[in-house]
A and B are shown apart, each in its own frame.
Chain A
Amino acid sequence: MITTALELFWEFFKIGLFAVGGGPATLPFLMDLTNAKPWYTMEQLTNMIAISESTPGPLGLNMSTYAGFQTLGFFGGLVSSFGLVLPSVVIIILIARFLDNFSQNPYVRAAFYGIRPAVTALIGAAVFGLCRVSLFTEADGVLKPEVGSMIIAVVVFGLLQVKCLKKLHPALWFLLGAGIGIILRL
């Protein structure tokens, strides 16, 4: 148990140190963990996103707490959140103490010029993987589409492009999805 706790701490420490851009930027890292560690599956990760989005608090923090909880209960949530937050606290205190105008620094700006599109691509690839697992089932190496989920995804994506629907709270969309899932027995 101690080893798992240390591993949880270490993995989330790395995420806290390298996930630049907050919430969604943690997704590619969390996805890597589904392959590298037996802590949670892709299906659980999908549930995790839905829960994190519909509860208060920063997305990244919610995701790390949930992942930790899946693995080691409350203690796991505590450890992984601590790991996630520690690099932030240390880095920010160092910057606040020693560097003035950090965000105006030309090197920082130049680094972000490269990081932003890369992070966009990382999240894009993670979402691609997420869609593949959520909208298809794999049987004997052949991908079979989940028609119900796929229709929901396409319709809701279309609706999200409508201006007035854009501002609806994610939790409302999840409720809608849950309702349809129950009615149609997906």
Chain B
Amino acid sequence: MKEINMLWQLYWAFLRIGGLTFGGGLTMLPMLKYELVEKKNWITEEELVDCYAIGQCTPGIIAVNTATFVGYKKKGVAGGIFSTLGMVTPSLVIITLVAACLENFMDNVWLQHALMGVRGIVCALMLNTVITLARKSLVDGFCCVVCGIVLLICLLTDVPTILIVVISAICGIIFEKIVHSQKFEQKKSAVCEDAAISGDPQRGDEA
């Protein structure tokens, strides 16, 4: 009984976190801290930061990764699954409702005017996200070269995105391990902690 109770608690805690934070990624950290550390006392703040670092260094949605990790630490595989389900539920319900409404009114002239106006805003916000990201991730010459080459490849050819991610990871390892293995030790701290690409274009640069 107690086991099941704990799984429900995990589900509800992550449902609240998912349903009350906009944007995901870094914006979720204060909410995670409030729910998991201060309210429930499930993990310490240091553990949360560790979970978060892992969430950023693994593929997939950062918030989902963090939820799975905390759930697993608390209650094993079932805990990981319940936490993830909790995180997914609000998105699924809210987006389905919004999308269903929007589809029904798509022929409406006013809605079309409104969406045309929104389009320019999307461009501005996304452009701002990219610039914030570039400021954070282009820390040295190697990063700038990689960024430039990938940008050219993307704009001029149709190389699959997956291939680019895999090759860039291999390049990172080769460059670090062979070309300047001495310098690597000093720079150690910089790479993973802030590896997150924030899910939020507005507040991403606060980190």
Contact = CB atoms under 8 A, between A and B. Distances in A.
A166 B200 CA distance: 11
**Which secondary structure dominates chain B's binding surface?**
helix
B168 A178 contact: no
Contacts of A55: 22, 91, 94-95, 98
Contact of B118 (A20, A74, A92, A177): A177
B1 interface: no
Interface string B148-189: 111100110000111011111111110111000000100010
A116 B23 contact: no
Interface string A144-186: 0010111111101100100000111111011011111110111
B147 A121 contact: yes
B154 A93 contact: no
Contacts of B56: 21-22, 103
Interface residues of A, number: 110
A22 B120 contact: no
Contact of B173 (A21, A58, A107): A107
B59 A19 contact: yes
Interface in B78-107: 80-81, 84, 87-88, 90-92, 94-96, 98-100, 102
Contact of A21 (B155, B164, B196): B196
A18 B119 contact: no
Nearest to B150: A121
Contacts of B119: 46, 134-135, 149, 177
A111 interface: yes
B94 to A, nearest CB: 5
Given A116-B195, A120-B133, A19 B18 contact: no
Interface residues of B, number: 108
B125 A170 contact: yes
A134 B23 CA distance: 22
Contacts of B134: 120, 124
Given A47-B115, A57-B18, A32 B160 contact: yes
Contacts of A93: 68, 72, 77, 80
A62 to B, nearest CB: 5
Contacts of B191: 109-110, 112-113, 116
Of A32, A57, A78, A118, chain B has the most CB atoms within 10 Å of the CB of A57
Interface of A: 14, 16-29, 32, 46-47, 49-62, 65-66, 69-70, 74, 77-78, 81, 84-85, 87-89, 91-93, 95-97, 102-104, 106-128, 130-131, 134-135, 146, 148-154, 156-157, 160, 166-171, 173-174, 176-182, 184-186
